[in-house]
Amino acid sequence: MNQLRIIQLEKKFEDRKKDENPVFSLKPVHLTIKEGEFFSLLGPSGCGKTTLLKLLAGLEQADQGEIWIGETEITNVPPESRNFAMVFQQPLLFPHMNIEDNIAFGLKMKKVKRAERIERAREMLGHVGLKGYGQRFPDELSGGQQQRAALARALVSDPRVLLMDEPFSALDPSLREEMRILLSRIHQEFGTTVVFVTHDREEAFHLSDRIGVMSDGNLLQVAGAKELYEKPASIQVASFLGLKNILKGSAGKFGMENRSQQVELADSRKSSMTHLIIHPEKLQLSTDLEKQSTAEEIIFEGIVKQLRFNHGFYLCTVQTENTLLECSISSRQAETVSIGQKVKLSAQLKGLHFVSR
Amino acid sequence: MLRKIKPYLLLFPAAATIVLLFFGGLFDGFLKSLGYFPAIGETGFSLKAYSSLFHSDAFWDSLIVTIRIAAISSVLSAFLGAIVAVVVFMMHEKSRSGALNLWNRLFQLPLTIPHLVGGYVIVLLFMQSGFLSKILAKVGVIEQIPDFPVLVNDSFGWGIILAYTWKEAPFVALMVYPVLERIHRKWRDVSRVYGAGNWDFIREIVVPAILPAWTVAAFIVFVFTFSAFEVPYLLGVTYPSMLPVYSYQLYSSGTLADRPEALAVNLILALLTVLLGLIAYYFSKRWNVLKGWE
């Protein structure tokens, strides 16, 4: 198995002018990426995801830790000998080479004969939808086409790992969507291990088998998109994922107190939990004010403050006694609700998610 | 109407001066090279001066020496300049320390020194009784000062070549360096990820990038050394001399009747320069060196 193993990898960047604390440090990262997996590093700008990617590429030297691919340690192997490929934020095609030569660059460095490398470059052009563009120069291609060419350049040399550093962030939204579909198809076709850096949640969720959420140089959580969404390990992760309805409470032996609301915890091990996350789609909106809570559910009472249309459903913001809650409702239900109306929101206890930090 | 021609009117004094002095001088030289020299009573036109030049061994020896010295100086300074520029660029890639800036300034130092002074520096350093021979004799590399090779006022022209290489290499570096600055910092990362070592990067990316500017710089150096006077006059020998010196010798030491020949040499120099320019332009177009960089 050619899995990529990252063992306690660390990197500190010192301020050259001062001998004080490091300007930025990537805290020890321990991670295994399976062969053929599409793994995304998700986090805000400056969280260390690109640093981690550069460490994997060999473009930065780690202070501590090891990188293994299969049974081979590559921590100190220079980037040119790793047989990795990388797609950057900008296409970074060489302007004096035509597209074919740009794509075949890696093969040329591997001393593949010209006829073979041109044939493979042409074949790859077909895969990325640029058939017939081989003789053009980069400045004769649009931004999206250039990024496709950059992707072809990365794939043509059959890399052990494909590293992608926010490759679609410079593209406009429609092109980005198109590129995601293309990348998804190509990943299925080639089965290459991909490490993809992005700050775009939607992009990560759309493409990845697993996602690693990073913040301030820490790898906070690694999980599949569904698990990350439903069970974020911390408030930081939940906040970055844009989760709504995060209620802060005080930890108690029997439950979480959100001032007026008592939420019973089914598991006493969760007694240290201090936050409760209720996903908007797990809240049921009811105009029946007589509705009473049961042992399996929690009920909030409040007033509708806002109704927003959002991709085929509505987001309804309800002001409860102490907090604002958001729930998603269907268009049909939205017709029965108006701003200022008193409503009740209920959620099944088993659908609630508690986090400690 | 006035508004339209105003820029031309404003430019006219400067343009007229340039045209009069440059093209006027050239035209006057051309007329005199054809034997039109009213000062000595010659008002007819003939190709006698050109014919006698082409039949003179001194002219051909001079032309060969000129081409050889100009070519060797251009090639040496072009390579040295390109190497300096690439080294500074690669050093810049790795660190941005103050020491690098110092090196950068040091490499540019010869640019600030006039050619004549540069020529004297070469004389003082490389003549047989010069600074270098004394040092080498002192440390025992050579037994005595006359053992030092003749590098100044030698018939091959090493002194001139040394002076121009030293003086023009920074010029080439200065022409090439801004082009290197256009190389995206991340291209090095890209090339490394795709398996390119330092040499591959220089060969595949840096050289194609600098080639247009480098050929232009080398051509300028060639043309300059081809038609320069003061350094060959100072560091060359009387025979065979470089063409500009030969022209001066004909003009100043001969009779008035030799002047058409002297001016014919200048005209040939100018024609050869234009011809070389056209050749350089043709090849730069043919090689498509600017494709993608524009």
The shortest CB-CB distance from B293 to any of A82, A95, A110 is to A95
High-pLDDT (> 70) share of chain B, %:
93
pLDDT score recorded for residue A269: 53
What residues of chain A lie within 8 A of the CB of B196, using their CB?
Answer: 80, 105, 109
Whether A92 and B184 lie within 8 Å, measured CB to CB: yes
Whether B194 and A106 lie within 8 Å, measured CB to CB: yes
pLDDT score recorded for residue A16: 61
- Residue A78 pLDDT > 90, yes or no? yes
Enumerate chain B positions whose Cβ falls within 8 A of a Cβ in A: 184, 186-187, 189-197, 200, 204-205, 208-209, 291-293
- Residue A46 pLDDT > 90, yes or no? no
Q: Which of A19-28, A158-167, A169-178, A196-205 has the lowest mean pLDDT?
A: A19-28
pLDDT score recorded for residue B66: 92
Q: Which of A67-71, A225-229, B164-168 has the lowest mean pLDDT?
A: B164-168
pLDDT score recorded for residue A240: 87
- Burial per residue of B13-45, b for 16 or more beta-carbon CB atoms within 10 angstroms, e otherwise: eeeeeeeeeeeeeeeebbebbbbebeeeebeee
Residues A139, A132: Cα–Cα separation, whole Å: 16
Q: Mean per-residue pLDDT for B154-169?
A: 85
Enumerate chain A positions whose Cβ falls within 8 A of a Cβ in B: 57-59, 78-86, 88, 90, 92, 94-97, 105-106, 108-110, 137-139, 153, 157, 163
> Going edge to edge, which strands form the sheet with A193-198?
A84-87, A161-165, A193-198, A38-42, A210-215, A218-223
Whether A78 and B192 lie within 8 Å, measured CB to CB: yes
- Residue A328: its H or E element: strand A324-329
Q: How confident is the model at residue A18 (pLDDT cuts 50, 70, 90)?
A: low
User: Of A115-119, A242-246, A255-259, A353-357, which one has max mean pLDDT?
Assistant: A115-119
Residues A66, A158: Cα–Cα separation, whole Å: 24
CA closest to A53 among chain B residues: B193
Other beta carbons within 10 angstroms of residue B65's beta carbon come to 24
Count how many domains chain B has. Answer: 1
High-pLDDT (> 90) share of chain A, %:
54
Report pTM. Answer: 0.76
Q: Which residue has the higher pLDDT, A55 or B109?
A: A55
Mutation choice for A interface testing from B100, B184, B191, B193 by most A CBs within 10 A: B193
In a domain, B53, yes or no: no
Q: Which of A292-296, B62-66, B270-274 has the lowest mean pLDDT?
A: A292-296
Between strands A250-251 and A255-258, the pairing is antiparallel
Q: Mean per-residue pLDDT for B59-81?
A: 92
Whether B196 and A95 lie within 8 Å, measured CB to CB: no
> So what's the ipTM on this one?
0.82
pLDDT score recorded for residue A274: 77
Q: How confident is the model at residue A266 (pLDDT cuts 50, 70, 90)?
A: low
Angle, alpha carbons A41-A42-A46 (nearest 5°): 100
User: Of A341-350, B173-182, B276-285, which one has max mean pLDDT?
Assistant: A341-350
- Residue A260 pLDDT > 60, yes or no? no
Q: Is the CB of residue A209 less than 8 Å from the CB of residue A38?
A: yes
What Å distances lie between residue A86 and A70, A106, A138, A162, CA to CA?
19, 11, 18, 6
Distance from CA of A79 to the nearest CA of B (A): 5
Which tens digit of pLDDT belongs to each residue from B40-52? 777 788 888 888 8
In a domain, B49, yes or no: no
pLDDT score recorded for residue A140: 92
What residues of chain B lie within 8 A of the CB of A100, using their CB?
Answer: none
Rounded to the nearest 5°, which phi and psi values hold at A314? Answer: -115, 145
Q: Is the CB of residue A325 less than 8 Å from the CB of residue A277?
A: no
Whether B195 and A106 lie within 8 Å, measured CB to CB: yes
- Residue A88 pLDDT > 70, yes or no? yes
Q: How confident is the model at residue B70 (pLDDT cuts 50, 70, 90)?
A: very high
Q: Report the interhelical angle of B24-33 vs B259-286 (nearest 10°).
A: 120
Q: Mean per-residue pLDDT for B230-242?
A: 83
pLDDT score recorded for residue A135: 93
pLDDT score recorded for residue B196: 92
Q: Which long-range contacts does B7-15 make (Cβ < 8 Å, 24+ apart)?
A: none
- Average model confidence (pLDDT) for chain A? 87
Q: How confident is the model at residue A252 (pLDDT cuts 50, 70, 90)?
A: low
Pick one of 3.40.1280.10, 3.40.605.10, 3.40.630.30, 2.40.50.100 as the CATH number of A278-355: 2.40.50.100
Q: Which of A12-26, A76-90, A99-113, A174-188 has the lowest mean pLDDT?
A: A12-26
Q: Report the interhelical angle of B158-181 vs B115-126 (nearest 10°).
A: 130
In a domain, B293, yes or no: no
Q: Report the interhelical angle of B57-94 vs B98-108 (nearest 10°).
A: 170
pLDDT score recorded for residue A17: 60
Q: Is the CB of residue A133 less than 8 Å from the CB of residue A141?
A: yes
Whether B292 and A86 lie within 8 Å, measured CB to CB: no
Domain around B159: 58-286
The shortest CB-CB distance from A94 to any of B193, B197, B205 is to B205
pLDDT score recorded for residue B190: 93
Kindly list the domain boundaries of chain A, sorted by start residue: 4-234, 278-355
Which tens digit of pLDDT belongs to each residue from B254-270? 677 778 888 899 899 88
| Domain range A4-234, CATH class | alpha beta
pLDDT score recorded for residue A256: 62
pLDDT score recorded for residue B159: 84
Which tens digit of pLDDT belongs to each residue from A184-194? 999 999 999 99
Mutation choice for B interface testing from A16, A56, A77, A80 by most B CBs within 10 A: A80
CATH code for position B191:
1.10.3720.10
Residues A213, A29: Cα–Cα separation, whole Å: 12
pLDDT score recorded for residue A255: 60
